[in-house]
Amino acid sequence: MTQDELKALVRTVPDFPHAGILFRDVTTLIGHGEGFAVAVTLLAQQAAAIGAEAVAGIEARGFIFGAAVAARLGLPFVPVRKPGKLPVPVLALDYALEYGTGTLEVDPGAVHAGQQVVVIDDLVATGGTALAAVELLRKATARADHALFLIDLPDLGGADRLRGAGVAVQSLMDFPGH
């Protein structure tokens, strides 16, 4: 499958969840067996190449890709969760994303000091979500020097914002002009 064929599996929905947002929906890609497998294989190759020792996935769509990559590589999976879901004391951070605000939480016991934890999510837009995940993992004393995405919306500046925070960013495709 070519990069263009993989990209064509992403559905674009105008005005979701708010007027003016062009929503890049991965539901159609994960609903395509070969497309999902190719995406996971490519992300797993990138995670292996950077020497990831654990994979952090961001709830909810980041769980789909992150967990699959972790299982493929035999690495621990660290869930970065939306609030109130983890049954232990957590580190928490508020953040803003393209179409709203939220809070992410991490169990500090899920990572080790100095462990290289790669952050995986389906999409980076403003980078607010991924940066919050990186900051939480670093606060938990892990290293979070890499983030992998299926989709980058480069005009929203998130990948550059992450790079400015010392995070190397890779994505499988981008949608310029978002």
Ligand X SMILES: Nc1ncnc2[nH]cnc12
Ligand Y SMILES: O=P(O)(O)OC[C@H]1O[C@H](OP(=O)(O)OP(=O)(O)O)[C@H](O)[C@@H]1O
Enumerate binding residues for ligand Y (CB under 6 A): 58-62, 97-98, 102, 121-129, 158
98 binds ligand X (CB under 6 A): yes
Q: Which of 10, 24, 59, 62 binds ligand X (CB under 6 A)?
A: 24
Of residues 79 and 127, the one with the C-beta less far from ligand Y: 127
Answer whether 149's CB lies under 8 Å from 124's CB.
yes
Of residues 61 and 138, the one with the C-beta less far from ligand Y: 61
DSSP 81: B
Burial 10-32 (b: 16+ CB within 10 A, else e): beeeeeeeeeeeeebebeebbeb
**49: enclosing H helix or E strand:** helix 33-49
Q: Which of 123, 148, 169, 172 binds ligand X (CB under 6 A)?
A: 123
* 24 binding partner (options ligand Y, ligand X, none; Cβ < 5 to 8 Å by kind): ligand X
The CB-of-17 to ligand X minimum distance in angstroms stands at 9
Count the residues in the chain.
178
Cα 7 from Cα 23, distance rounded (Å): 14
Q: Which stretch binds ligand X (CB under 6 A): 18-26, 44-52, 64-72, 142-150?
A: 18-26
